[in-house]
Amino acid sequence: MISTSNIPSNSDSQNLTNSLCLTPALFVSASAYLTNSPGGVQICTQEYINTLKTAGFSLSVLGYEPARDLFTRIQRKLFPQPYVGRLPLNLAQDVISQAKAQNLKWIFLNQVDTAPIAKELRSQLGPECKIILLSHGLESTDIFHAVRTKSGSTNFSEVTSKDLQFLAQSLVAEGIHRQYIDYIFCLSAFEVEIERWLGAKNVTWFPRTISNNPLPWHPHPARLGFVGTIDHIPNKEGLILFLEALEKRAFGNISLRLVGGPESVAKDITQRFRFVEYLGQLSNEELEKEASTWSCFVHPLFCYSRGCSTKLAIALGWQIPVITTPAGCRGYSWNDGKLPLADTPDALAELAIKILNPEAAIDSQREIIDIVKSSPNLNDIATKIKLLLSI
């Protein structure tokens, strides 16, 4: 167990401004999510932290390491159950002890993996202590997509009774957890409705913020780009569906530059689609240099997976043309500008071909700039939190 007394503020000046009116709170998270890794969970965790600090919370952190003892690992391997065997056995008591010692009335649980301790927290801390779950997406959502695509297609042809039992267990567990949670913050409007269906008392979603990081854009007129974890089922499915549609329309030296891993999955894709060039895993600097040559960033997602796509915020912040789907831009909000969206792989492929035209690409870039300028910032979201929680 790792415990630190406080998270530094976004800036010294902000800390000074808020120092007289901060609300003490406890932030509970797996230690791995508190690192500076570029992973989606780490990015969203930091954004939650920064937003809560901007809203006026002084956060103490309780970081934990997942249970890794031999017995627990064997049990998870042989008898897997959703939300079981991941947390250290003493986590709830550690939270309770720290909350009582500091007389804390606010506890923020990061990621749905922490939800199982809510029952014990509620029992020992009472209704005066508010338990807030900071969701990064429901596990049942991705379990369903794993079942749906198990055979490599979408016809559910290899679903077993064990698969169905595991999915049912995850839904029931999520419903039980929500009986003891006061408020749930989500990353997309889509998951708000599922949370309500599961019995969440109070739930809302907060859009992603977009950092302005424009690239020196010099697009290649036949080059598209994709970034993602290629073996993540929604990503893999969406990419292949898009490539199948694009293959029917591909012309000349058109290419899609593929960034991500693992290499084994990428190899299968490049062997199947000759116009795909695999670049592997790139550093931030390498990725930005590469992306500055793309006529368009393609985010093909045709199912509503858990959470939101953090990479979309990065791509929008680059201020290069972006095309995606309604599912691909879940978790984002803006007032001005138009993001090109397509509901089907064929329609997305048509958009990609269209935007390879230099004039169309420049027009699209102007729209992206408007989107970035009109998207919410931390202060906007923090104000909403303060109103919702009445702090």
Residue 7: predicted pLDDT:
47
Report CA 91 to chain centroid distance, whole Å. 24
Please list, residue by residue across 179-196, b when 16 or more beta carbons sit within 10 angstroms of its beta carbon and e when fewer do. Answer: ebbbbbbbbbebbbebbe
DSSP summary character for residue 22:
P
* Spatial contact of 359 and 390, defined as CB atoms under 8 Å apart: no
3-class state of residue 24 by DSSP: strand
* Spatial contact of 191 and 141, defined as CB atoms under 8 Å apart: yes
Cα–Cα dist 170/172, whole Å: 6
Give me the DSSP letters along 276-340.
Answer: EEEEE---HHHHHHHHTT-SEEE----S--SS--HHHHHHHHHTS-EEB-TTTTTT---SS----
Residue 16: predicted pLDDT:
34
- The ranges of the chain annotated as CATH 3.40.50.2000 are 2-207+377-389, 223-374
For the chain, list residues with pLDDT below 70: 1-20, 152-155
Residue 153: predicted pLDDT:
63
Cα–Cα dist 108/189, whole Å: 20
H/E stretch holding 271? helix 263-272
Residues 6+ apart with CB under 8 A from 153: none
Angle at 162 between CA 110 and CA 133, to 5 degrees: 15
Its CATH architecture, for the domain 2-207+377-389, is 3-Layer(aba) Sandwich (3.40)
314-358 pLDDT, tens digit each: 999 999 999 999 999 999 999 999 999 999 999 999 999 999 999
Query: Would you mind telling me the total number of residues written for the chain in this entry?
Result: 391
Residues 6+ apart with CB under 8 A from 101: none
How far is it between the farthest Cα atoms of the chain? 68
* Spatial contact of 301 and 277, defined as CB atoms under 8 Å apart: no
4-60 pLDDT, tens digit each: 445 444 443 344 334 457 999 999 999 999 998 878 899 999 999 999 999 999 999
User: Regarding the domain delimited by 223-374, which CATH topology (the fold level of the hierarchy) does it fall under?
Assistant: Rossmann fold (3.40.50)
